[in-house]
Each structure stands twice: as structure tokens, then as C-alpha cells.
């Protein structure tokens, strides 16, 4: 059997970078910057596939499902990073968006021998998490052939979950295993085979789109504002107060007072100010309108 690894674009050696060890630092930096500029272009080509996957994911989440990212090595670390940003940015429960890395938490800071190659472990992780038909599982692998990721995506599909494969090579096994294939072909790396570079940047850009747009579709922003943010530290408290003031037209003292009464929840404070409600009444109105601030304000204003 011929090893397919050397055939992959992410494993090719680019002659433009063959002498980087002999170049001055600024020239290497300019070469890397020029190489990185090709990444958004490659992502743009994949936007139709990305958009279709996001719409499917958002529908699953609206019905009560979770979003689970699965990766190994750099891809796994990016998975954990994107998932960990959702609670502070969008006020989600940590269980709603989860990042899973082959080898577990230890693999976040060091290589875990053989973890990426264990397809059975990937499948077992889906079983442990009781993945089901409402869930969405996004497998992430630059090569598109990491056994742990393939095992997880295959098992998730068998359990009826929505599956997405994000890779940086064409016609990969991951694309074949997933219901939605996202292929962002970025080509050879500056350092041959170091897919933490262009491939990693491409994956991060796509994950930004998946999590952010899904949350927008779920009503967890108001316009482009992070309305679900909770004022849990001084920076966030100041940001929330300015946001509440901008939306309602209230002065900062009024915004801060409402935020304090709302337990730091910005959207509750907005409804309190706009409609003269206490925190309990504001929460009830938001619940009545599916926690969507825009719907709550518009429907109330229309009565």
C-alpha cells in the first residue's frame, strides 16, 4: 500500500522557502506574511460549504443539541480554544460547545504518544459523551486522515449526529466520512509539514465562523453586540454598561444600576430600562420571546 502522506498538499515542500535558515529575520517574516495572505483566499473558496454546515449546526442547536469539536494535535488545541471562548463571549453553558482533543487535557501542552492514531478512542469518546441525533460533531484534521478524528466522526454519524469534516486537503477520508465536508486547501507550509502554520490559521478562521455565526443565528447577539456577556470583572462591567447605555440611551449610572440589579446580565438590564421592569419581569419577558432580545423589544414596542 502506498503511503498517501507525501501526496498531500500540506506535506509538500515549497522551494520558495528552502533557504529560510540562511535568510535574515525580516525577510523570513515577510515570506511568512506573504504565505499567510493566501489563507483567507482559500477560506473564501470554501464559504458555500462552510455556510451550509453552519446552517445545519444552528438548526441542531436550536432544537437542543450540542456542538462538539474533535481534533488531534494543533487541530485539537484549536478545537478546545474555540469552544472555551463561547461561555465568556456568548453566555453559553460550558456543555453546549465542547472541544475534544486526542489524548485528553494533557495533550494541550505536550504530545501524547499514539493518541492521534487511536480510532477506537475517538469512537469511545462519542459513546462516553452519549452523542445523539440532536448533536453536531465537527472533526478537524489538517491532513483529513487522523484516525482519532475519523473514529469519532464515524461513530457520531452512526449515532445519528450531524457530522462535519474540516480539513486542508482535497478528497480526504474525513470529507468522505462526514455529512458536510469543508476543505480549505492552503498548500505547502513555510516549514514543510508544520500544519500549525497556514493550515492552523485556516482552521481557526473557519472555527471562528462556525461558533460566531451559529450564536448569531441562535439570537445570542443583538446586532453585532455581545448581549449575553455577564459583567464578571471590571473590564466586562465597563463594556456591558456602555453597551446597555448605547442600546437604551440611558446614562452610564443608570446602566450600571440596572446591571447590578440584573446580576450583571446585560440583556436583562436593557429590558428593565426600556420597559420599566424589575429584573424578574425582564427575565420573564425574555423567556417569553425565546431569550432573543430583539424579538422581546420589537414585539413589546409593537403593542
Query: What is the distance between the alpha carbons of residues 236 and 289, in angstroms, rounded to a whole number?
Result: 26
Catalytic option among 7, 26, 85, 183 = 85
Q: Could you give the C-alpha distances from 76 to 5, 18, 47, 138, 194, in angstroms and in order?
A: 20, 29, 22, 11, 15
| Cα–Cα dist 69/221, whole Å | 22
Question: Choosing from 116, 183, 189, 228, which is the catalytic residue?
Answer: 116
Whether 113 sits among the annotated catalytic residues: the reply is: no
d(CA 194, CA 74): 10
| 54 bridge partner residues | none
What burial class does residue 247 get, using C-beta atoms within 10 Å of its C-beta: 0-12 exposed, 13-18 middle, 19+ buried?
buried
Cell 533557504 locates to 19
The tally of CA atoms less than 13 A away on the side-chain side of residue 206 is 41
Query: For this structure, is 291 an active site residue?
Result: no
Q: How far is CA 158 from CA 14, 79, 81, in A?
A: 39, 22, 27
Q: Is 67 helix (H, G, I), strand (E, B) or coil?
A: strand
Residues linked to residue 165 through DSSP beta bridges, in sequence order: 139, 181
* Beta carbons within 8 Å of 194's beta carbon, 6+ residues apart: none
Residue 32 Cα distances to 15, 25, 137, 189, 191, angstroms: 14, 11, 32, 9, 10
Task: Tell me which residues are annotated as active site.
Answer: 85, 116
Amino acid at each position: 500500500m502506498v503511503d498517501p502522506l507525501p501526496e498531500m498538499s500540506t506535506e509538500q515542500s515549497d522551494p520558495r522557502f528552502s533557504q529560510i535558515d540562511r535568510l535574515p529575520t525580516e525577510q523570513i517574516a515577510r515570506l511568512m506574511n506573504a504565505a499567510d495572505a493566501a489563507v483567507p483566499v482559500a477560506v473564501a473558496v470554501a464559504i458555500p460549504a462552510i455556510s451550509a454546515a453552519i446552517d445545519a449546526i444552528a438548526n441542531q442547536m436550536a432544537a437542543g443539541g450540542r456542538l462538539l469539536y474533535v481534533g488531534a494535535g494543533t487541530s485539537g488545541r484549536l478545537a478546545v480554544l474555540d469552544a472555551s471562548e463561547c461561555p465568556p463571549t456568548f453566555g453559553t453553558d460550558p456543555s453546549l460547545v465542547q472541544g475534544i482533543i486526542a489524548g485528553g487535557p494533557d495533550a494541550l501542552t505536550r504530545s501524547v504518544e499514539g493518541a492521534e492514531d487511536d480510532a477506537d478512542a475517538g469512537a469511545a469518546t462519542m459513546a462516553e459523551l452519549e452523542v445523539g441525533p440532536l448533536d453536531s460533531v465537527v472533526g478537524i484534521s489538517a491532513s483529513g486522515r487522523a484516525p482519532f478524528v475519523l473514529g469519532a466522526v464515524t461513530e457520531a454519524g452512526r449515532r445519528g449526529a450531524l457530522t462535519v469534516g474540516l480539513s486542508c486537503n482535497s478528497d480526504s477520508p474525513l470529507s468522505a466520512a462526514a455529512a458536510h465536508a469543508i476543505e480549505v486547501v492552503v498548500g505547502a507550509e513555510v516549514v514543510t509539514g508544520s500544519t500549525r502554520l497556514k493550515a492552523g490559521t485556516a482552521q481557526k478562521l473557519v472555527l471562528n465562523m462556525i461558533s460566531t455565526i451559529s450564536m448569531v443565528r441562535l439570537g445570542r447577539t443583538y446586532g453585532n453586540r455581545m448581549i449575553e456577556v455577564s459583567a464578571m470583572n471590571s473590564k466586562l462591567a465597563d463594556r456591558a454598561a456602555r453597551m446597555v447605555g448605547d442600546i437604551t440611551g440611558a446614562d452610564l449610572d443608570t446602566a450600571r444600576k440596572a446591571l447590578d440589579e440584573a446580576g450583571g446580565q446585560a440583556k436583562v438590564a436593557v429590558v428593565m430600562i426600556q420597559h420599566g421592569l424589575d429584573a424578574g419581569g425582564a427575565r420573564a419577558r425574555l423567556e417569553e420571546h425565546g431569550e432573543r432580545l430583539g424579538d422581546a423589544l420589537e414585539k413589546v414596542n409593537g403593542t
